[in-house]
Amino acid sequence: MASPAIPTAPKRALTWRRATAIALRDLKSAPGKFGFVVLSVAIGVAALVGVRGFAESFRRTLGFEARSLMAGDLSARIFGLPTPAENTRIQAVEKGLPGTRSTWVTETLSMASVAPDPVPLLVTLKAVDPTAYPFYGEAKLQPSMTLQQALAGDSAVVADEFLVRLNAHVGQSLRLGDKTYRIAAVLQQEPDRISAGAGMGPRVMISRASLDASGLIAPGSRASARLLLKLPDPLPKGVTPLSVRHDLEAAMPDAQVMDYREGNPAITDGLDRATAILSLICLVAMVLGAIGVAMAMHAHLEQRMDMLAILKAIGAGSADLLRIFLIQTLGLGLAGGLLGVAAGIGVMKLLPAVFGKLLPVHTVLEVPWHSIAAGLGTGLLTTLLFCLPPLLDVRAVRPVLVLRRLVEQGPEGIGGWVAKLRARWLQLAIALVVLAALVGIAWALSDSATVGFWFAAGLTGALAVLLVLAFLLLRFLRWILNRVRLHLPSSLRHGLANLYRPGNQSAAVLASLGTGVMLILSVYLMQSSLLREIKETASPKLPNMFLIDITSDEAPGLRDFLAHQHGVTEPVDLMPIVRGEFVSIHGKPLDQFKGQHVPLRSLQNSELTWSDKLPEGLKVLKGAWFTGPDVQQIAVADWIADRLHLAIGSSMELDTAANGRHKLTVSTIYKGDGQHTSSRESFVLPSGALKGEVATWYGGVHAQAAQIPAIERALFQAYPTVTVINIADILTRIETVVDQITFVIHFLAGFSIFAGLTILASSIASTRFRRMREAVVLKTLGATRMRIVRTFSVEFSVLGLLAGMVGVVFANLLTRVLLHRMQVGYHINWPGAAVALIGTAILATGTGWIASYRILGLRPLEVLREE
């Protein structure tokens, strides 16, 4: 008769408190090793918080500078005066968004004179409400005063050219129509000068009240008006500048509406590209932190497998072990995250203080709560992402197999891979869940769901390809070594063989190091290309004086005159202008485009120019430039192509005075940089289409700012009918902002690269314990210190070279794709690739030995006793 079974006490699970105590005791056993984990998380989070926090503040500052060049958030131009119905609809837009402010700016042409000279001068008259205008920026006057003070009563401010041409001075009276105004000051800086009309004479500015009382404006007068809107800050939830723009377009169907980002291409392109590269830097910081956590924690768990085996042998369950290491993992991730947040905020706050003189535009810093949340979330999620899968392996591991894992390999070949994947289905599922969370973080960091998705997808794909390449490279290395083994020095042979020894991490190191090199080099290549493009759009050699009303007879002499003027640094760039009238677009008469925000008035009296070669300052976006002077084609600026829905192959009909009707096909859509003379025209034709037409020329020239007044006076004496528009102060402001963009991108990219190198260094160092065991075995077998040094140096350098090669190739591919999407030219940077390749090998070797030099002095018994 069988004896009855003896009842056993139910197994008690480890409490959270006890698990926490064991986890802390394990942390205290090797604080230096866990420092790598905390350092990796901290640097990644610090780079993310510091870079993104400063980038957010910097973008707000750039936005303010862009607004100051238009004097408002939104602008709506009409060729005429606003009607009562339009004013009513505008008031409705303002009421729908409390806190919105608006003001009208009126521009017209008038004749002005200064006693005792009775000869009048054609001027561009601008009327503003000085209590509201400008919403951003400021009008700088000489003598110094506010615009409201200068325009009080019957006063006016004038451009310096006005005084030059009429030999006048501040304090004199000028006559406009039937009224007399006192010249109160000289207008040295007009905030929205570059976005206002070019004008046909020197600037004279008066108040709107004075304009209304002057009688200069009457129904049917040739005048244009611009509505400036200032939006509340912050905007209500769900409201964006784009949504307000749509409301304004609905209220003013015939107006040309644009926001501050369209005010100047140099600032706009700089802002867009700065946003792109800074978002990339933030994403790279996030991934580099993940790489550091992956390597450090994976090494820690591999080293602790013996302890796990012993705990399981004495009765610990898988849930108990998971609980211990989950607490440990989250604690390390949280510690690194908090340290990184503190460091990131410190970096963000110190930047303006340390580099104050190099940041000429004041950057207002705020606590980046979104970045802090993203940084902490990233630190914890990436720690979990790379720690849970190996932790889950503990559930199905028997102690005897764990203890034999370093000397036995699993099944090889495709069958072995499939078996491993099946066994780790839960790990893969968890990795996919956390990867989805990382997509969300990437979305938040880049402010784009598409960018977040493709970044995560691209990173996953690149990592998978790198793992496969690492596997193939190591297999190929093993195949080669098996055939030439006896012909190689022993140190080289052993060093190469270490790359595929049982239990090695070569594939993981290659993948992580290659990914890090790819991302770091991509940041460098991106910022180099983008900064080159930004600099070209705001070169200090661009014209800062515009010349208008030049006849064809005066053009050759004007070129020679300016070439001999002291202070002129670049040749004058002249361009002809011919008047024409568009009759139809897409076969439809212009009347059918009414109410579609199409500049009908400018199309009915359009400015045309010709050029058989691509003019400097234009960039072809679609199509190709003219193949000859007699083709019936036309090139159109991108902004008007968007408004008219033009594409390559679209048809347009044009009438000109001498040549009559032209049936043209759109062959080119181009974008101007906003600085060169050619970029200010919307339509360019081949020379044959406008042959024989009467042309008026205008152009631009760059001169030293201090010499411009003298050049203006000499030019007036030689060519009194030529009008000069001085925009040197505006270009100086643009150049200052672009210089700031350049510096900030350089610095933050450098900070990200330094942080990435530090993380990669800590990742390489995290495999120290494996080399410690190997050094002990080699010493036991009689190897000298120098032989161990040579063996490990071969392993480190080969790993670095292989990772560098893979990283360089993928970095160039990634950079090419990203730059192509941003319409920026790509060129292979051979010096950068060489430095990355050699630098990776040096980094791997140097870091490996910095972390491992102490193992050379260890005695075998010291290590064996720890087992």
Distance, in Å, from the CA atom of 47 to the CA atom of 40, rounded to the nearest integer, reads 11
Flag whether pLDDT at 633 surpasses 90.
Answer: yes
* pLDDT tens digits, 481-518: 777 766 777 777 777 777 766 656 666 677 777 777 88
Cβ neighbours, 10 Å, residue 416: 12
**Type of residue found at 202:** P
Q: Report, as an integer, the average pLDDT of 338-360.
A: 69
Q: Tell me: cis bond preceding 489? Omega within 30 of 0 counts.
A: no
Mean pLDDT of the chain: 75
Of 165-179, 517-531, 560-574, give the lowest mean pLDDT range: 517-531
Q: Report, as an integer, the average pLDDT of 214-232.
A: 78
* pLDDT tens digits, 294-336: 666 666 666 666 676 777 777 777 777 778 878 887 887 888 8
- Considering Cα of 817, then 819, then 824, then 827, what sign does the dihedral take? negative
User: Can you give the pLDDT at residue 1?
Assistant: 45
The highest-confidence range among 265-269, 640-644, 676-680, 776-780, by mean pLDDT, is 640-644
Lookup result for tokens 């009048």? 120
Flag whether pLDDT at 8 surpasses 70.
Answer: no
* pLDDT tens digits, 195-206: 555 456 788 999
* pLDDT tens digits, 436-449: 776 776 676 666 66
Q: Report, as an integer, the average pLDDT of 683-697.
A: 89
Distance, in Å, from the CA atom of 382 to the CA atom of 435, rounded to the nearest integer, reads 9
Between 631 and 360, the higher pLDDT residue = 631
Count, residues in the chain? 867
Flag whether pLDDT at 226 surpasses 80.
Answer: yes
Flag whether pLDDT at 123 surpasses 80.
Answer: yes
Q: Report, as an integer, the average pLDDT of 464-491.
A: 76
Question: pLDDT grade, residue 623 (50/70/90)?
Answer: very high
Contacts of 382 (CB under 8 A, 6+ apart): 41, 44, 286, 289, 290, 293, 294, 333, 438
Cβ neighbours, 10 Å, residue 695: 18
Question: pLDDT grade, residue 734 (50/70/90)?
Answer: low
Question: pLDDT grade, residue 741 (50/70/90)?
Answer: low
Segment holding 482, helix H or strand E: helix 449-484
